[in-house]
Structures are given as C-alpha cells and as structure tokens.
Chain A
Amino acid sequence: MWNYSDNVVDHFLHPRNVGEIENPDGVGEVGSMACGDMLHLSFKLDDEGRISDAKFKTFGCASAIASSSALTEMIKGKTIEEALTITNRDIADYLGGLPDQKMHCSVLGREALEAAVRNYRGEEEDVKQLEGEVVCTCFGVTDTEIRDVVRENNLTTIEEVTNFTKAGGGCGLCHEKIQEILDEAGASNALPAKHSTGASKASSAHELTNLQKIHLIEEVINERIRPALQHDGGDIELVDVNQNIVTVRLKGACATCPSSSVTMRQFVEKEIDKLVAPDIRVEEAHA
C-alpha cells in the first residue's frame, strides 16, 4: 500500500473544484487513458486578469486526483504569470510530498496548467509535443519534456526520470537516450538559464571570481533554498562569504527547529555544493 500523506488522502477523498467551467478562458488536457492518467483543466479569469475559478476532471490514481485538486487550489487568485511559476515540485510540496513513483502525477498537473495557458494564449494545442523528439515511445514522452523535468527537479538517475515522467517505464529501450539527456543536463545545468548571471557551476570554488561566487550563492539561496524553507515557515539570510565558507542565518521556524543542523547539512550545503561548487562549506551564524 502506498504511504500517502494526509493531504493527499484529504484531496483524494474530498477533491476540490471538480468539474468543467462553462465558457472558460483556458482549457488544457494532458495524459491519456492508455498511459493510466489524464487531466482536464479549465480556468476563468476575472477583470484584473487573475484566475477567478479553476476546475478539473481526472482519470487516474489517488495521487493524480489529489495533484489535480491541489493545482486548482494553488492557481486560484493568481495571474497567468504567477501561476506559471508553480512547478511540479510545488504541487507535490503542497500535498505534503508524493511517493517517488508517483511524482509523475505532479508533473501531469504542471503540464495541464501549461496546456491550458497555451490554449488561453491561442497557441497550438500540442506545441510542446511538436517541439521535441519522442524519446519514450511507450508513453509518448519527448526529449523536451524530459529536459524540462530534469532541470526543474535536479534529477540525476533514469529511475527518477521514470518516476517523474513515466519515460523509460515501459520496454526500457530508451534508457540510453535518457542517460544522454541526464549527462548533458548534469554537465551544463547549474541553474535555470533565466537566472544566470554569466557564471555557472564550477568544479571548485577557486575557479570562480569572488563576485561570481557571491552572485551564484545569492541566486541559489534566493531561488531555491529560501522558497523551500519558507514553505515550512522558516527563512534564511546570507551573512557572509569568506573564501569557501558561506555563513548564513536561519530564521523563522528554522531558527528554533531542533533539526536545523540537518537542514543545513542535508539541504542548504547540498544545494550550494550541487549548484555552485562542490567544495563550499556552509556554516550557521551565531547571534
């Protein structure tokens, strides 16, 4: 039996916003019956361009239904641009996490949102499908989709890619191709391009100028670490960067959290090592 979080069970047993909006501003449908899950999303905008209502219909397992329900709750009240900042990871976090093998349900949510926005903007329904080359023929997953998900979730193994996109979960013939995509991503993918300051991940902190290093660390903290901590009621502040030692201060719930040292080592330092340079140490500032 799956170990679903209470939130997943709640959204499955009491799904929010089920149905279809009449005269919607945007409609998106992703997935298929053959693949085992399918999501139909519709939304309506108010006069200020905010999503005033969102509804879904989903064929799929408990986590697919819960992810759809969560998505509709999350996008309500947001502008299109704000809604598009929601990643599949955010959907999973909103639900208190999903089992690894079920992460593709959150990706389905994110894709339905993109499809509905494309529909709203009058773009081609399946522009994303056409963009890429099909890698996984069993589940019809393109290289573009895999690259996006690998980048957004820092995936490193084929198993993770299968959990998130289903690609590679059928006959297995595409594993080599997925590995190539992972290899490419691992080599070049320090931060999403839109955040790049010109510096990118180094094999050692010495390869970066001080300025590059500080910029990168700031970005990683602001773009990746802070949102995650804020989600749990905490916060973080960059205090100083001295050679390879980064000093930060944990705030909010994190400041009094008994597992803050675990957060520092397992999350903050890992993220910075992964995205800036592997030999950086993170220390906590003491007041």
Chain B
Amino acid sequence: MRAVYVDNNATTRVAPEVIEAMLPYLAEQWGNPSSMHTFGGQVMHAVDAAREATAALIGAEPREIIFMSCGTEADNTVIHSALAAAPNKSRIITTAVEHPAVLNPMKELQKKGYDVVFLPVDTEGRLNLHELEDALDANTALVSVMWGNNETGVLFPIERIAELCAMRHIPLHVDAVQAVGKIPIDLARVPITYLALSGHKLHAPKGVGALFVRKGTPFTPLISGGHQERGRRGGTENVASIVGLGRACTLAGEHLDEEQTRVAALRDRLEHEILTTIPRAFRQGDPAMRLPNTTNIGFEAIEGEAILLLLNEYGICASSGSACTSGSLDPSHVLVAMGIPFTRAHGSIRFSLSRYNTDADVDFILEKLPGIIARLRELSPVP
C-alpha cells in the first residue's frame, strides 16, 4: 500500500543525506569527542562542524548553540536557567497554546507560587500584543512563547515580541521547534535570548535537539556533569545524531525557499480543495500568519479519531486534536483556547506536509477524504 505521510509536525522522515552523514559516526568513528587522542579529536571536529551548520541556519554564532537530547530538554533548561538568573522575580509570561514541553513546566511553577500569566489567543489563534505589553513588568523573569504552533501552524509575531521584551531587558525564550527549517530565522537581527529547536522535526533523527543561548546571558545547566558543551550540558555527546542534525540544518537552509513556495502551494491546494468540496469544513488558524506546511481543518459533527483511522486504511498518516486520539477527554488545549466550538474541535484534522510530499499525495488525499467524511456523517446522529 502506498503511504502518504502528512504528519510532519509530529515527526519527519530522516533525510537520506542525513543518514549517510551519520553512518561513519556509528561505525568507524566511534571515539569520544572529549578524548585527548586524535581518534577522539576528529570526532570533536565533526561535532563542531555540526554546531556551525546549526548556528548558520538560524543566524547564530556556533558558541551560542548547546546540543541536547530534544526540544523538551531545551525548553526545560531555559526555564530552569532563566529563573535561577532572576531569583527575586516571580512573574513568567507565556501563552495558553504552548506545547506541553513549556505548558506543563509552567503549570508546575504556578503550583510552586510563581505568577504565571497564560496569554489568551483569539479565534484565529493570534495573540493580542497589547495584553502582552500590559503583562510585562519589572517583576518578570522570563517570557516564553512559541514561534509556530504545532497544531494550527499559526505564527506569533516574534520580531515585535522580541522588541517589546528587549526594550524592557526581559529575557525572551522562543520555542521554535516547528518553525526552524520551515521559515527564515535570523537571530543576528531579532533580539531573542533563548531559542529551542528539535532535530526530528527537520529531517534529522529523534533524540537530538539544540538550544540557542545568546552570548552574555547568564546560564545554569539543567543537567550538570562533565565539561561537554563547555560545561553547559553534561553527558557524552550523541555524536552521530548531532552530525545528523548539522547535515539536516544545512539541507533545511537549501530547501527553505522550497518550503515557502512549493510546499506552501501544496498545502494551499489541499486546504482550498477540502474547504470547497467538503461541506461544513472549516480552516482553524490565521491563514495570513502560518507555517507554510500546516493546515488544521475542523469537520463538523464527526469525530477526529474515526477520520484518522479511516484515512489510515488508505495509508494516509495525519493527526487530530480530538479528545479520543490523545487518551484525554477534552479536545486539544489549542483549539479550546481559540474558542473553536466542540462540534468542530472534536472533528479536527491536522495535515502537515514536508518537502517529500508531492502533487500526487495531495491528489490521493483529495480523492479519499470526501468519502470518509460523508461515511462518518452518515453514522452521526447530529444533523
């Protein structure tokens, strides 16, 4: 059966070039980069090259990049470090639609007595920057916002948020796990303090991520140990995956235009056709400010898990913000925060494309989806 993978915000295919770059570091080049001998030393060169490639993709300096295990570790490290740097401040500002990697640590801090502000979003998933400005005060230890939303693809206006924070000397963390590799990012130009990225969202393997920490920022490691990563992240380096991340970042840079043009056009065609051919289907998320690869569509009166499993019968891989798919009982916190009616939130499907998708993939989805939706609506007691 052909597989049509349109769940790239969940994880991505490891690029063949990335695998090729990694293999020597799983086979003959197995030295420890911290070793004094040449055998380990040459591995250190590979890690450094990966650091340069990662920094280049986001306009950072290599020394501002710390390799870690994943985006979640990067997010947690920032929260830990920023609060350690501001022991007398008790306010943290974030949004209601963050990824659980930020949302859950924030909820724990709230229980510990921190004044955590969860900024709301409107029905299109947008922040109101006046509300952000009003919340920023001298007691604020950290602002943490995502760049691109994993469920809807909505982009927050990071440049403007960065200006607002920089004017007040408040550190800003950006969870850019979904944005890196999909939109141009230039940290030399945007005064962000910390930025998290994850390998497996940009065609590198799972288990590797990176944190950007702007030079001059006080830093306290979350994982202390050896002197790896200049003492900022203990633990022997995941060399092969770091090399893979470096290669993936270079490739992402080369394909950045394609993401904005060909991938965006595929997404737009898929979305437009669905919205015009399937009754009672609604786009969820601001179409003007969105990742180029993502569309989130709510289908009224049917349930997302059922849609996914029928798509799965045809080898189409997507995901849903419905309650049933997560094992929780409420629909996605993102859709709830946007005030999407339950009649649609339970029937929401996210299609997230990548440069590996083709016109034929979109045609195939458009061929199968209307029948699936009609079939489930036949079953539904709700008119």
Binding site for B on A (CB under 8 A): 2, 12-13, 15, 18, 29, 33-40, 57-62, 64-65, 101-102, 138-139, 162, 166, 169-170
Task: With both chains docked as a complex, state the minimum distance between the C-beta of B314 and any C-beta of chain A, in angstroms.
Answer: 12
Task: With both chains docked as a complex, state the minimum distance between the C-beta of A262 and any C-beta of chain B, in angstroms.
Answer: 28
**Which single member of A13, A18, A33, A59 contacts B313 (CB below 8 Å)?**
A13
In the complex, B275 has a CB within 8 A of chain A: no
Q: Determine the distance from Cα of A58 to Cα of B305 in the docked complex, in whole angstroms.
A: 13
In the complex, B35 has a CB within 8 A of chain A: no
Q: Can you list 8 A-B contacts with CB-CB less than 8 angstroms, sorted by A residue number?
A: A33-B343, A36-B324, A37-B324, A57-B380, A61-B305, A64-B303, A169-B330, A170-B330
Residue from the set B310, B313, B323 with the largest chain A CB neighbour count within 10 Å: B323
Q: Are B329 and A61 in contact (CB under 8 A)?
A: no
Task: With both chains docked as a complex, state the minimum distance between the C-beta of B380 and any C-beta of chain A, in angstroms.
Answer: 5
Residue from the set A36, A38, A64 with the largest chain B CB neighbour count within 10 Å: A36
Q: Are B379 and A62 in contact (CB under 8 A)?
A: no
Residue from the set A29, A64, A139, A166 with the largest chain B CB neighbour count within 10 Å: A64
Residues of A within 8 A of B380 (CB): 57-59
Contact with A along B326-357 (1 / 0, CB 8 A): 01111100000000001100100000000000
Residues of A within 8 A of B328 (CB): 169
Residues of A within 8 A of B301 (CB): 33, 59
Q: Are A38 and B306 in contact (CB under 8 A)?
A: no
Residues of B within 8 A of A169 (CB): 328-330
Q: Determine the distance from Cα of A102 to Cα of B325 in the docked complex, in whole angstroms.
A: 11
Q: Determine the distance from Cα of A246 to Cα of B382 in the docked complex, in whole angstroms.
A: 53
Q: Determine the distance from Cα of A57 to Cα of B377 in the docked complex, in whole angstroms.
A: 9
A169 (CB) vs chain B CBs: closest residue: B329
Q: Are B306 and A65 in contact (CB under 8 A)?
A: yes
B313 (CB) vs chain A CBs: closest residue: A13
Q: Are A57 and B303 in contact (CB under 8 A)?
A: no
Residue from the set A2, A34, A59, A170 with the largest chain B CB neighbour count within 10 Å: A59
Binding site for A on B (CB under 8 A): 301-303, 305-306, 309-310, 313, 322-325, 327-331, 342-343, 346, 378-382
Task: With both chains docked as a complex, state the minimum distance between the C-beta of A36 and any C-beta of chain B, in angstroms.
Answer: 5
**Which single member of B329, B331, B346, B382 contacts A166 (CB below 8 Å)?**
B329
Residues of B within 8 A of A139 (CB): 329
Q: Are A36 and B323 in contact (CB under 8 A)?
A: yes
Q: Determine the distance from Cα of A61 to Cα of B328 in the docked complex, in whole angstroms.
A: 13
**Which single member of A34, A35, A57 contacts B379 (CB below 8 Å)?**
A57
Task: With both chains docked as a complex, state the minimum distance between the C-beta of B333 and any C-beta of chain A, in angstroms.
Answer: 12
Task: With both chains docked as a complex, state the minimum distance between the C-beta of A138 and any C-beta of chain B, in angstroms.
Answer: 8
Residues of B within 8 A of A2 (CB): 305
Residues of B within 8 A of A34 (CB): 342
B329 (CB) vs chain A CBs: closest residue: A169
Q: Are A33 and B382 in contact (CB under 8 A)?
A: yes
| Inter-chain pairs besides A37-B324, A57-B381, A58-B381, 18 sampled, C-beta below 8 Å | A12-B309, A13-B313, A18-B378, A29-B381, A35-B329, A36-B303, A57-B379, A59-B303, A59-B380, A59-B382, A61-B305, A61-B306, A61-B322, A62-B306, A138-B329, A138-B330, A162-B329, A169-B328
Q: Are B342 and A58 in contact (CB under 8 A)?
A: no
Residues of B within 8 A of A37 (CB): 303, 324
Residues of B within 8 A of A101 (CB): 327
**Which single member of A12, A13, A35, A40 contacts B381 (CB below 8 Å)?**
A40
Q: Are A12 and B306 in contact (CB under 8 A)?
A: yes
Q: Determine the distance from Cα of A13 to Cα of B312 in the docked complex, in whole angstroms.
A: 11
Q: Are B324 and A61 in contact (CB under 8 A)?
A: yes
**Which single member of B306, B330, B342, B378 contacts A60 (CB below 8 Å)?**
B306
Q: Determine the distance from Cα of A117 to Cα of B327 in the docked complex, in whole angstroms.
A: 31
Residues of B within 8 A of A60 (CB): 303, 306, 324
Task: With both chains docked as a complex, state the minimum distance between the C-beta of A20 and any C-beta of chain B, in angstroms.
Answer: 8
Q: Are A59 and B302 in contact (CB under 8 A)?
A: yes
Residues of A within 8 A of B324 (CB): 36-37, 60-61, 64, 102
* Contact A33-B329, Cβ < 8 Å, known A39-B381, A62-B305: no
* Contact A61-B303, Cβ < 8 Å, known A36-B346, A139-B329: yes
Q: Determine the distance from Cα of A15 to Cα of B380 in the docked complex, in whole angstroms.
A: 12
Residues of A within 8 A of B322 (CB): 36, 61
A104 (CB) vs chain B CBs: closest residue: B329
B342 (CB) vs chain A CBs: closest residue: A34
Task: With both chains docked as a complex, state the minimum distance between the C-beta of A170 and any C-beta of chain B, in angstroms.
Answer: 6
B378 (CB) vs chain A CBs: closest residue: A18
Residues of A within 8 A of B310 (CB): 13
Q: Are B379 and A15 in contact (CB under 8 A)?
A: yes
Q: Determine the distance from Cα of A61 to Cα of B382 in the docked complex, in whole angstroms.
A: 14
Q: Determine the distance from Cα of A18 to Cα of B381 in the docked complex, in whole angstroms.
A: 10
Residues of A within 8 A of B330 (CB): 138, 169-170
Q: Determine the distance from Cα of A38 to Cα of B381 in the docked complex, in whole angstroms.
A: 7
Residue from the set B305, B327, B342, B343 with the largest chain A CB neighbour count within 10 Å: B305
B330 (CB) vs chain A CBs: closest residue: A170
Q: Are A36 and B331 in contact (CB under 8 A)?
A: yes
Q: Determine the distance from Cα of A169 to Cα of B313 in the docked complex, in whole angstroms.
A: 30
Task: With both chains docked as a complex, state the minimum distance between the C-beta of A37 and any C-beta of chain B, in angstroms.
Answer: 7
Q: Determine the distance from Cα of A101 to Cα of B309 in the docked complex, in whole angstroms.
A: 17
Residues of A within 8 A of B381 (CB): 29, 38-40, 57-59
